[in-house]
Structure 1
Amino acid sequence: MLHSLRGGLIVSCQAYPGEPLRNAEAMARIAQSAVLGGAVAIRAQGIQDIRAIAQSVTVPQIGLWKVGADGVFITPTLDHALAVADAGADIVAIDGTRRERPDGLTLAETVRQIRDRTGLLVMADAGSVDDAVAAEDAGADIVGTTLSGYTGERARTAGPDLELVHLLASRLSVPVFAEGRIHTPAEARAALDAGAYSVVVGTAITHPTSITSWFVRALDDEPAPAQGGVDRVGI
């Protein structure tokens, strides 16, 4: 299955609570649209979404369960991971940092039990080089740059953390998935060129509220002064 993801685009289909698209049927339809566009896999959050998407597409699905919004909140416990697997995920994504987990298990214990009890691959969402190395040592099958800029170990870059992608790709033996703040096709290509095995894009494809706000902000910005007294209009 991992081979089928190499060099491909994985689309993260998620919506925030309270938004119009925050329901499983909507996420499943977005996932179907992403697959029609060429996505090699889907990343989804929440049991209902994972279950609906598993019934709607045939490409692999990376499943996770966000609990809260601070600390270890991406599939924080073994029980959450087992529920994600039971809902139909093909790969279970978990917090892959070195922080203490809510259930007291170590990352290695969590990875081992997920694999022993489900047979599924485990993706560790890391925030630094040290996280990534520890995740690989813990037995993770995939390491993602998902948490770069969110754990206090690395500065939050305006776009993807390409430096981290390069560092991990040159150091780890497991696949490195570039994820986080990838907003343009050029940035996705740059992540692949930096050594990413696959590229995960979410907001820039599946979050209309954010995409619309980018255009609105661009229109609200003051235009740059015309050079030579001549107005320049681009279409």
Structure 2
Amino acid sequence: MTATPLAATLAGRLIVSCQAPPGDAMRHTDTLVRMTRAAQDGGAAAVRVNEPEVVAATVAAIGLPVIGLWKDGDTGVYITPTVRHALALVEAGAAVVAADATARPRPDGSTFADLVAAVHGAGALVMADVSNVTEGCEAARQGADFLSTTLSGYVSGTPRQTAPDLRLVTELAAAITTPVVAEGRIATPAQAAEALAAGASSVVVGTAITAPTALTRLYVTELGG
């Protein structure tokens, strides 16, 4: 299966991440699916959702490509950490499986290349979530169909910042031909446009669109609450 048709569909367009953290009032399958429907109505090209149950419900509800991931835990490699997690997402209907592609060890002892081979064998594509250029180039070499800057700023050794890591976007786009997806801390439409100008093929926005709890806290904090 080739990424080219989907990459062309997503080129220059917005992907909306419709997720909610554990304990959040929005973390309910029906609520998350309604988010994806709203994203579709607003013109999104695809959605990114967490866990097989939500993937399956989203696939049944909307006509957009679904990028699925499965967060298991909150430390180390926890974004689709094993081949088992990845294949469950494909079975649920994900067109693309997003997975941690950093150099950190995976909990089942597998490699990112093992995950790519399994997902491709099951008929889906892979989005590699990386934190730096070296990881991105290695993920592309191992067969990733898309690269995402998701983990920049969240892995030791990467720059901590409040803004998107547009430098990483530019460096990845210059180093490889695999489509680069800008993700992480994109808070405004202007920043999304800047990411495309920096070399991203597509842009993922999550919190700024789909996280009312986090957004409310920003206002409350600014007002001294």
Q: How far 1:219 sits from its partner (Å)?
A: 2.9
**2:10 alignment counterpart:** 5
Query: Cα deviation per residue 1:142-200 (whole Å; 9 max; x = unaligned)?
Result: 00000001111211221110110110011111000000111111111111110000000
1: CA distance, partners of 2:189 / 2:151: 21
- Contact kept in structure 1, 2:13 and 2:203, CA below 8 Å: yes
Q: How far 1:20 sits from its partner (Å)?
A: 1.4
- Across the two proteins, how many residue pairs are aligned to each other? 220
Higher alpha-carbon Rg: 1
**1:189 alignment counterpart:** 193
**1:155 alignment counterpart:** 159
2: CA distance, partners of 1:218 / 1:35: 31
Give the match's secondary structure for 2:171. Answer: helix
Query: Cα deviation per residue 1:47-68 (whole Å; 9 max; x = unaligned)?
Result: 1111111111101010000000
Structure 2 residue 52 is matched with structure 1 residue 47: yes
Higher RCO structure (Cα 8 Å, ≥6 apart): 2
Q: 1:108 aligns with which of 96, 107, 113?
A: 113
- Contact kept in structure 1, 2:67 and 2:97, CA below 8 Å: yes
1: CA distance, partners of 2:29 / 2:128: 24
Structure 2 residue 206 is matched with structure 1 residue 207: no
Letter in 2 for 1:50: V
Q: 2:35 aligns with which of 22, 25, 30?
A: 30
**2:3 alignment counterpart:** none
1: CA distance, partners of 2:170 / 2:223: 35
| TM-score, normalised with respect to structure 2 | 0.95
- Contact kept in structure 1, 2:87 and 2:118, CA below 8 Å: no
**1:65 alignment counterpart:** 70
Q: Percent identity?
A: 49
Query: Where does structure 2 lack aligned partners over 5 or more consecutive residues?
Result: 1-5
Query: Cα deviation per residue 1:110-129 (whole Å; 9 max; x = unaligned)?
Result: 2112111x111100000111
2: CA distance, partners of 1:52 / 1:62: 13
- Contact kept in structure 2, 1:98 and 1:134, CA below 8 Å: no
The alignment yields a C-alpha RMSD, in angstroms, of: 1.1
Letter in 1 for 2:110: L
Query: After alignment, is 43-52 or 209-218 more displaced?
Result: 209-218
Q: How far 1:220 sits from its partner (Å)?
A: 3.1
| TM-score, normalised with respect to structure 1 | 0.91
Give the match's secondary structure for 2:223. Answer: helix
Superposed, 1:68-217 pairs within 5 Å as: 68-116=73-121, 118-217=122-221
